Amino acid sequence: LKGIQRFLKPFVSKTGDYKMSEQQNFETGELIEKPSHLERTSHIERQKSKVPAEIISIISQTPTIKSFLFRPPPSYIPEFSFLPGQWLDVFIPNVPIAGGFSLTSTPHQYTLTNTFELSIKYSTNPPAKWFHENAKIGDSVEVRVGGDFVWDDRKEQEDETECVLFIAGGVGINPLISMFTSILEAKNNTNVNNMMKKVGVKKIRLLYSARSFSELLFYNRIEELRKEWPHILECKYFLTGENAPPSQSPSTNNEAEFYYGQRISQKILGDIIMKERENLEKLKCFICGPPIMRNDFICWLKSAGLIDKRILLEKW
């Protein structure tokens, strides 16, 4: 067994085809207990208070992912606030451990409607399992905001960020859609003066990888934004488990770029960096996806000339 593992280990990063459970020790093959969300994120700051929130809508987004819309009670609405990209500690009655889920809505949406959204993929993890098998409209949970993988308008203005590259693998799209939707919402905000609009983000590129078209979470939402902002938002979709356009995919839409049976490659990243070669100090990259994918992209981006502080990733 160890010999087989040593043979397969070099190929994990290159192809991503070989997968071993995160709960299995690679060297011994022994099963180990996976740390809980609170344990994995214990070093990250979060808000002190918990806020109750009621489920007011449940929508099936893909065969394995549901979106849940929440609203806090009126008296708690002023206490709840977040930045794009942050996650929630979620405390569910009679569930022994807390869940950790990224917000997929924006602060602007919360300001307008007093609602926020979580999109949760099914798993045997007790919180995710509860949401898929037991949660219903009218149920309440407690939430607490945390996370430092964020889009902060003020910081990005200080950093003079003009071009942004978002890289998502699977449900790694969750914090990223909150980020780039917030960027585009700000451009529509009549309260933002013209000078702020001119010095803001000029180009957003999204590289989004999923196994199949049916697993492209928020595809319609993303495409609506791309069509509204065609000169700013550029999207490339990578369907790693499909070698040809499936019948349900928009294969006739020449504006949406699809790559079938392939992953996001070093060459594709290199081509993007080359386009911004003269402007790298104003480019920033946000990555959220499986650990192997993240590690490859960091190496490729650094080798292409992007410095550490302009590469941000969600590690948990």
Q: Indicate the pTM of the whole model.
A: 0.85
pLDDT at position 7, please? 34
Residue 14: its pLDDT value, please?
33
Name the maximum alpha-carbon separation found in the chain.
63
3-state secondary structure the chain: CHHHHHHHHHHHHHHCCCCCCCCECCCCCCECCCCCHHHHCCCCCECCCCEEEEEEEEEEEECCEEEEEEECCHHHHHHCCCCCCCEEEEECCCCCCCEEEEECCCHHHHHHHCCEEEEEECCCCHHHHHHHHCCCCCCEEEEEEECCCCCCHHHHHHCCCCEEEEEEEHHHHHHHHHHHHHHHHHHHCCCCCHHHHHHCCCEEEEEEEECCHHHCCCHHHHHHHHHHCCCCEEEEEEECCCCCCCCCCCCCCCCCEEEECCCCCHHHHHHHHHHCHHHHHHEEEEEECCHHHHHHHHHHHHHCCCCHHHEEECCC
List residues bridging with 258 in a β-sheet. 237
Query: What is the distance between the alpha carbons of residues 172 and 315, in angstroms, rounded to a whole number?
Result: 11
> For residue 68, what pLDDT is reported?
98
Closest by Cα among 58, 295, 81, 67 to 167: 295
**Measuring CA to CA, which residue among 57, 139, 68, 73 is closest to residue 101?**
68
Which parts of the chain have pLDDT scores under 50?
1-32, 193, 195-196, 252
Mode of pairing for the β-strands spanning 311-313 and 87-91: unpaired
pLDDT at 180: 97
CB-neighbour burial class of residue 108 (10 A; exposed 0-12, middle 13-18, buried 19+) = middle
The count of C-alpha atoms lying within 13 angstroms of the C-alpha of 294, restricted to the half-sphere facing its C-beta, is 14
The predicted structure's pLDDT at residue 15: 30
